[in-house]
Amino acid sequence: LAGVYVPADIYVRYLRMKGEDVLLIGGSDEHGVPITLKAKNEGVTPQDIVDRYHGIIKKSFEDFGISFDIYSRTTNKTHYDTASEFFKTLYEKGEFIEKESDQYYDEEANQFLADRYITGTCPSCGSEGAYGDQCESCGSSLNATDLINPVSMISGSVPVIKKTKHWYLPLDKHEPFLRKWILEDHKEWKANVYGQCKSWIDQGLQPRAVSRDLDWGVPVPVEGADGKVLYVWFDAPIGYISATKELTPEWEKYWKDKDTRMLHFIGKDNIVFHCIVFPSMLKAEGTYNLPENVPANEFLNLEGDKISTSRNWAVWLHEYLEEFKDQQDVLRYTLAANAPETKDNDFTWKDFQARNNNELVAILGNFVNRAIVLTHKYYNGKTPEMGTAVEEFDKNSLAEIDVIVKKVETSLDSFRFREAIKEMMNLARLGNKYLADTEPWKLIKTDEERVKTIMYISLQITANLSVLMEPFLPFSAIKLQTMLNLSGLKWTDLGKTDLLTPGHIINKPELLFAKIEDETIQVQLDKLEATKSANIVAAKTAAPAKENISFDDFTKMDIRIGTILEAEKVAKTKKLLKLTVDTGIDKRTVVSGIAEFFNPDEIIGKQVSILVNLAPRKIRGIESQGMILMGEDANGDLVFIQPSKQVKAGSEVR
RNA sequence: GGCGAGGUAGCUCAGCUGGUUAGAGCGCAUGAUUCAUAAUCAUGAGGUCGGCGGUUCAAGCCCGCCUCUCGCUACCA
């Protein structure tokens, strides 16, 4: 929400209020591989899975006030048609590279087999149980087609070799264009976006496969492509187009008109797809506009830890909407004010509370309340005349409205939402200061004419505020406008000093924002604490035992106590240490992925358990002759399996 | 390991092509005030700008090395 939907919604509401013809398009990307895995796990179809979530997500967005013109999904027919057509166009234009290769096919399961799903005898060492991509015994890298006696791991049948064709989008071909378009013509893009694009382009782009041998996705729409679907990253961005089509017959205007500006609001993990891949697709197709900007944001953490839906480390929108009824704007405000625009940021409930109590309640809500309460007290809710006692200070204060509006516009136009929302709050600050400086509650006893002017101006500030806050706090803006008995105001009304005309009746004051008490926050913190505990418990639960093996199988393993003699980091790797171990039998080299947990110096001289008859395997060009046994705890921390007291190197472990 | 982004007051962040005493909001302290949801207004305290070295008359901004965080990437038990 923080990085993508809230900023996008603010921006779009702003443009709509300016009277621009704008659409906010979004949708669920439903062809991801995790979806098929989840379906398999639960024994249901992928469609069941996506049906379950799409509705919930869509409704949550709606209730939260993310004003999508359409929130669609990539499993609907329009999308299938659109994506197919898009592919066909590129295909016919010769924008793809076709590569044919031999691949095993399981005739029983009716599908092509990924290398990992094929097992057989290794052609180089003759051992059984080698996988299609490599032999675990000798470590050689294999082509699946080289395996002797291959067997499908899915059905157990003997697979047949079939030619399979895949299509690749030659990103390298578009490199000169991308270089100019991004690196020269879009220097104004955010540093994080520009930097990552530059990095990709400078490293040289490779052709990227756009098809896969899977059964979940949009079928590849050319002859001889049975059982092939569009790779998810290819079809997903086309979803933006499909959704627009679904929404309006005039969809082409939004995608192809020269004057249309397209923007992608995304998270930083999606930069490459939206800045390099999708634009290349659009360019290749030829008739579409390219994005004008991609204001990608960084990530928002939660109470110091990365948000993770699988670990339930998250604030679920549908739960928030229930537990904080009618307080969408509080979360919108907090998220916008903390948007991770330049670096990852942290959401904390304490900050949420503080933003509400110290800013929304104290500054904004309070000012509005003061103005309206006083109006009712002095004039029974009737807007007074401007009065004749207008001073320089009054004029300056009114003029200040325009200055603030301009600043908000500048900030929004350059996608600086934190700055924009802060400026918006400054209008409420202006109001508070105006009241404090003019003190109408004192003057009412001595100078009623002057008080009319003061209240008139205070009300105009309030009315302006109700418009200015609308993109950010739409629910509260409507509430305030209802209180003021106003409606249909536009962005161009901002700065006007007669939004409420003399005699205009305003309604009774209601509080815009309610204080949030410590207990309420504590409930949320407790909930997260419970999640944390649950995760720890879950992590403590040991994995289920593997299948039984015979004693013979066990005795095949030759495990010894060895002593580490030397240790050094393998260059250009993060995890690997190259160890020299005295096994008692010999001194041998072992490559071990423990560099993140041990300094080479610290472990020299340590006794460890080592599997000495594991087939050698080349890792990073170094032949590893054995495996150091490690214990791994739930956090992934590694510890050595060591003898409880010093024993002779070469002692057997049984 | 390579690449990208970031490391500025207690917290969240500004700081444009290097130039006088480094800014804002919140928090904190003091004072004023009472129309208002004990809200508001004023004033103030608080920073060796991640570390070291360099270029320059001048560096938070430029260069080098190091370090920490996040992301992308790599033949990653």
Residue with tokens 């002593």: A563
> For position A501, what pLDDT does the model report?
94
Distance CA A649, CA A639 (A): 19
Nucleotide with smallest C1' distance to residue A515 CA:
B37
* Distance of C1' in B39 from CA in A647, Å: 74
| Non-local CB neighbours of A249 within 8 Å, separated by 6+ positions | none
Nucleotide with smallest C1' distance to residue A425 CA:
B25
Nearest residue (CA) to C1' of B40: A432
CB A459 under 7 Å to nucleic chain B = no
Distance CA A86, CA A638 (A): 49
Nucleotide with smallest C1' distance to residue A614 CA:
B77
CB A514 under 7 Å to nucleic chain B = yes
> For position A313, what pLDDT does the model report?
80
Q: Name the stretches of chain A with pLDDT < 70.
A: 2, 33, 37, 101, 109-111, 113-118, 122-146, 153-156, 536-547, 571-573, 621, 633-637
CA distances from A336 to A6, A13, A353, A362, A379 (A): 7, 14, 15, 18, 37
Local structure of A131: helix, strand or coil: strand
> For position A138, what pLDDT does the model report?
46
CB A629 under 7 Å to nucleic chain B = no
**What confidence tens digit (pLDDT) does each residue in A530-562 have?**
887 777 666 666 665 666 778 887 888 888 999
CA distances from A60 to A55, A371, A634 (A): 9, 34, 34
Nucleotide with smallest C1' distance to residue A576 CA:
B76
* Distance of C1' in B43 from CA in A437, Å: 16
Q: Residue A204, Cβ neighbours under 10 Å: how many?
A: 9
pTM: 0.81
**What confidence tens digit (pLDDT) does each residue in A148-199 have?**
777 776 666 777 777 777 888 888 889 889 888 888 888 888 888 888 888 8
Buried b (16+ CB within 10 A) or exposed e, A135-161: bebbbbebebeebeebbbbbbeeebee
Buried b (16+ CB within 10 A) or exposed e, A22-60: bbbbbbbbbbbeebbebbeeeeeebeebbeeebeebbeb
> For position A543, what pLDDT does the model report?
60
Nucleotide with smallest C1' distance to residue A569 CA:
B1
Chain A 531-570 contacts with nucleic strand B (CB below 7 A) = 569
Q: Residue A507, Cβ neighbours under 10 Å: how many?
A: 12
End-to-end CA gap in chain A: 55
Tally of residues, chain A? 654
CB A30 under 7 Å to nucleic chain B = no
Strand partners, A198: none
Chain A 343-402 contacts with nucleic strand B (CB below 7 A) = 343-346, 351, 354, 357-359, 361-363, 365-366, 369-370, 373-374, 377
Q: Residue A212: which of A228, A198, A235 has the closest Cα?
A: A228
| Non-local CB neighbours of A580 within 8 Å, separated by 6+ positions | A564, A565, A566, A567, A587, A588, A589, A590
Q: Residue A376, Cβ neighbours under 10 Å: how many?
A: 15
Distance CA A141, CA A339 (A): 46
CB A298 under 7 Å to nucleic chain B = yes
Residue A429: in which H helix or E strand, if any? helix A417-438
> For position A124, what pLDDT does the model report?
59
CB A269 under 7 Å to nucleic chain B = yes
Distance CA A372, CA A383 (A): 10
CB A387 within 8 A of CB A453: yes
**What confidence tens digit (pLDDT) does each residue in A296-311 have?**
887 778 887 777 777 7
Q: Residue A31: which of A13, A17, A50 has the closest Cα?
A: A50
Chain A 304-333 contacts with nucleic strand B (CB below 7 A) = 306
What is the ipTM for the molecules in this complex?
0.85
Nucleotide with smallest C1' distance to residue A426 CA:
B25
Distance CA A648, CA A638 (A): 24
Q: Residue A165, Cβ neighbours under 10 Å: how many?
A: 15
Query: Backbone phi, then psi, for A563, in 5-degree steps?
Result: -120, 130
Chain A 438-457 contacts with nucleic strand B (CB below 7 A) = 439, 441-442
The separation between CA A117 and the C-alpha centre of its own chain, rounded to angstroms, equals: 31
Residue with tokens 């599997």: A611
* Distance of C1' in B19 from CA in A186, Å: 30
Strand B nucleotides, any atom under 7 Å from protein beta carbons: they are 1-7, 11-14, 24-27, 33-37, 39-42, 69-72, 74-77
Amino acid at the residue A588: R
